[in-house]
Amino acid sequence: MVESPSIQWHYDASQDAKDGQPWSQDDLDDLALALKDGGSVEGAAHFLCRAGTIEDVRKKAEELGLLRT
């Protein structure tokens, strides 16, 4: 049996290139897609390269009515 190598994920703030940037229509579409079917705000923030501003992502999702309460 061959073992798969362990993959280490390292967070680097430079991956959050869109933190604080204006929201494009593509960003909004991607946010809706990331939250579809119960996706997390944190996961969406990472996907959108905005993990350093998770609260901004949450606020935008609330503005757009994308969060289930």
Q: Give the separation between CA 61 and CA 25, rounded to whole angstroms.
A: 13
Phi, psi of 58 (to 5 degrees): -60, -45
- pTM of the complete model: 0.77
Per run of 10 residues, the mean pLDDT along the chain (length 69 residues) is 64 81 96 93 93 95 88
- Confidence (pLDDT) at 14: 74
Q: What is the pLDDT of residue 58?
A: 97
Q: Is the dihedral of CA 29, 15, 53, 39 positive or negative?
A: positive
Alpha carbons 40 and 34: distance in angstroms, whole number: 8
For the chain, domain boundaries: 17-63
Query: What pLDDT does residue 18 have?
Result: 93
In tens, the pLDDT along 47-64 reads 999 999 999 999 999 999
Rounded Cα gap, residues 6 and 25, in angstroms = 37
